[in-house]
Amino acid sequence: MPNLAKTDGTALKLLWLAVLVLVLDQLTKAWALQNLQLHQPMPILPNLNFTLAFNEGAAFSFLSEMGGTQRWLFSGLAVVVSVLLIWWLRKLPNQLNCETLGLNLVLGGAVGNVIDRVLAGKVTDFIDFYIGNWHYATFNVADIAISVGAFCLIVQEFWLKPRQAKQQVEQTTQATQANDHSENTQASDKNV
């Protein structure tokens, strides 16, 4: 397990973002449990209801018919992923960027949903987006955080990192060319 006490200069100092997501997720779920009736929509905006629902499976109720085994399977998987995300954050510098933001969003969301699974055996969902008669799977703040966090990590890996690598190569090439030019100038000055 990662040593959380050793945060100097690492992105672990940004764990407050994951904690913020976790608190927001748990507060909104508590509100939903107190104020919503199961499967009774509360209109919020056009195409958006708050509708209390429970998910015993993974995304889109995947594997929800496993008879309870999925509770511990998904909880264990989320704990392993959370430990890996903390280890990853420990390896990164203390900078708020797309990568550290994405990792913290995924971590906070994963822990938020695992708390539901461990305590209740199911995840509380309440955000119901729809168009006409078509309804997207009901979700929660943790799911939003996980999705946005995954998007941030994809952007980091496939767009930002290649751009940064290209800039680094260009800077190295320019520095090498400037150094070569300086050496050639000094050599020609000695020959004169």
**pLDDT score recorded for residue 113:** 93
Sign of CA dihedral 26, 30, 31, 33: positive
Residue 192 lies in a domain: no
**pLDDT score recorded for residue 1:** 46
In total, how many domains does the chain have?
1
Q: What is the value of pTM for the model shown?
A: 0.76
**pLDDT score recorded for residue 187:** 57
CA distance 31 to 105: 21
**pLDDT score recorded for residue 75:** 74
CA distance 84 to 67: 28
**pLDDT score recorded for residue 4:** 46
pLDDT in tens, the chain (192 residues): 445 445 568 889 999 999 999 999 999 999 999 999 999 999 999 999 999 999 876 555 555 555 556 666 767 787 888 898 899 899 999 988 999 999 999 999 999 999 998 899 899 999 999 999 999 999 999 999 999 999 999 999 998 887 777 777 777 777 676 666 666 666 566 665
Residue 2 lies in a domain: no
Q: Which of 25, 116, 128, 143 is catalytic?
A: 143
Active site (annotated) includes residue 143: yes
**pLDDT score recorded for residue 8:** 64
Active site (annotated) includes residue 125: yes
Tokens of 127: 């955000």
* 34-54 b/e (C-beta count within 10 Å ≥ 16 → b): eebeeeeeeeeeeeebbbbbb
Residue 188 lies in a domain: no
Residue 185 lies in a domain: no
Asked if residues 127 and 44 have their Cβ atoms less than 8 Å apart, the reply is: no
**pLDDT score recorded for residue 177:** 67
**The domain containing residue 143 runs over which residues?**
11-180
Residue 187 lies in a domain: no
Asked if residues 66 and 60 have their Cβ atoms less than 8 Å apart, the reply is: no
Q: Which of 25, 116, 125, 128 is catalytic?
A: 125
**pLDDT score recorded for residue 82:** 86
Residue 22 lies in a domain: yes
Residue 186 lies in a domain: no
What SS3 class is residue 57? coil
What SS3 class is residue 186? helix
